Amino acid sequence: MKDIYKIARRASGLTPDEITDALMRSLEGRKLKKVLILPPDFTRYHSNAGFITCIYYKALKAAGVEVDVMPALGTHVPVSRVQAEKMFPEIPYEALIPHNWRTDVVKLGRIPADFLEDITDGLWHEEIDAEVNRRVMDESYDLIISPGQVVPHEVIGMSNHAKNLFVGVGGSDMINKSHMVGAVYGMERMMGRDNTPVRRIFDYGMEHFLSARPIMFVLTVTTAPGGNIRTHGLFIGEGRECLTKAVKLAQKKNIDFVDRGIKKCVVYLDPSEFQSTWLGNKAIYRTRMAIADGGELIILAPGVNKFGEDPVCDALIRKYGYNGRLHTLEEFRKPENADLRDNMGAAAHLIHGSSDGRFSITYAVKNISRAEIEGVGFKSASYDALSRLYDPFTLKPGYNTLPAPDRSTGLPTGLSEDVYFIPNPALGLWIDRTRFSEDG
């Protein structure tokens, strides 16, 4: 198949008809009996992958093709019925196959230790098992369609492509160790960039273990001002080039540069998308390169009611907390902390979710106690109180000049303050422009 690229020339993005036309062209000339679609889960709702998955599903079913749909959950909880009705309205909920990253995978081979030492500047010395859901290797599938969004990402640099396979429908060793590689190497060395060590791990896996599988990537670059999805680019291909081109567009559309470090940043977490700090900490990952030393990050999180996405990770977060990279690595190396070493993905998450004391982090919540929030290393505040001071429904994205309140009383002080507001941290990356170059 010849790669298909469509880039919008208008600010409103590609139209549904333009997207549909490209998707139908990607199926031309194929004799298909059975297809597997691997869309992202609801945490990538604004990817427009739900619409894309529905178009493929309807067209293939109408042509008499057997279609299986398995959301690429990674370690997330399965898509709920309510989420599915919003993201995949044309697909019966019962048709969505859940992926279990602990039990549903097969081992394909190993990423060798010497390769990992080379790409991490000697910071990582263990081999990694490459694992994917067994359905990816099922030869009864004539085509595997992997839709998803290319956007800045804290673990890999820029999300999607092979990550959708080796993490989205991958197994524990790859998920845990790839996340830990990223944490050890340093997220600020990778976010917003293409050829990072973690990306090279997945590229290696594609080249050595999945090159013979009929995998077609359908990658979007989107923004969502006011919650309205705009698809600026659609990149369809079976190789690496579609990702390379999508990354270049995403770097333009999804990275917001600020001219100076942000002193106060307020991030809103939509309760339909963020119910855990495991997901909500994107507010930290995506802003850490923009917040000034000594600055303040306020996370308005009305839907957050837990820490981990599963009981094991939740317990580890409660036990070890978000206490900085050096502290977490120290705990990780202690012989008695086998639970942390057995869940490297959780250890990496703890590293990612701390500012290392560079700026303060306040979670404003409704459904977790102050003691619990402070127990994992964050400051705690009432959502109702802080949302009155910083109303997420009236603030505009970017800088806002507001009356400076007395935080203890909420009363005006007669002063003003600049507040930088982000309505959805999952859609981009914010950087003090002195901290970044595209080449890394």
Residue ranges and CATH numbers for the domains of the chain are: 4-253 (3.40.50.11440), 257-435 (3.90.226.30)
> Phi and psi of 258, rounded to 5°?
-110, 150
Q: Is it the case that residue 440 has pLDDT exceeding 70?
A: no
Per-residue burial over 89-105, b = 16 or more CB atoms within 10 Å of its CB, e = otherwise: eebeeeebbebebeebb
> Phi and psi of 156, rounded to 5°?
-110, -20
Q: Which of 236, 235, 299, 290 is nearest to 263 (CA)?
A: 290
Averaged pLDDT of the chain: 93
Q: Is it the case that residue 438 has pLDDT exceeding 60?
A: no
Contact present, 304 and 315 (Cβ < 8 Å): no
Residue 435's pLDDT band, with cuts at 50, 70 and 90, is: low
For the record, the structure tokens of 155 come out as 């673990």
Residue 404's pLDDT band, with cuts at 50, 70 and 90, is: confident
Q: Is it the case that residue 407 has pLDDT exceeding 80?
A: no
Q: What share of the chain is helix, strand, coil (3-state, %, to 5)?
A: 35, 25, 35
Average pLDDT over residues 74-82: 88
* Gap between the Cα atoms of 47 and 230, Å rounded: 9
Q: What is the DSSP string of 48-109?
A: SHHHHHHHHHHHHHHTT-EEEE--B-TTSPPPPHHHHHHH-TTS-GGGBPPP-TTTSEEEEE
**Alpha carbon 405 to its chain's center:** 34
Average pLDDT over residues 282-299: 96
Q: Which of 104, 108, 46 is nearest to 78 (CA)?
A: 104
Q: What is the DSSP string of 313-343?
A: HHHHHHHH-S--HHHHHHHHHSTT-HHHHTT
pLDDT for position 2 = 87
What is the per-residue pLDDT across 320-370, written as a single tens digit (0 to 9) for each?
999 998 999 999 999 999 999 988 889 999 999 999 999 999 999 999 999
Q: What is the reported pTM?
A: 0.86
Average pLDDT over residues 21-31: 97
pLDDT for position 422 = 96
What is the per-residue pLDDT across 216-250, written as a single tens digit (0 to 9) for each?
999 999 999 888 999 999 999 999 999 999 999 99
* Gap between the Cα atoms of 218 and 39, Å rounded: 9
Contact present, 103 and 72 (Cβ < 8 Å): no
Q: Which residue has the tokens 């190497």?
A: 185
pLDDT for position 412 = 65
Residue 124's pLDDT band, with cuts at 50, 70 and 90, is: very high
What is the per-residue pLDDT across 151-161, written as a single tens digit (0 to 9) for each?
999 889 999 99
Q: Which of 273, 299, 266 is nearest to 399 (CA)?
A: 266
Amino acid letter, 121? D
* Gap between the Cα atoms of 347 and 193, Å rounded: 23
* Gap between the Cα atoms of 361 and 344, Å rounded: 23
Contact present, 351 and 333 (Cβ < 8 Å): no
Q: Is it the case that residue 410 has pLDDT exceeding 70?
A: no
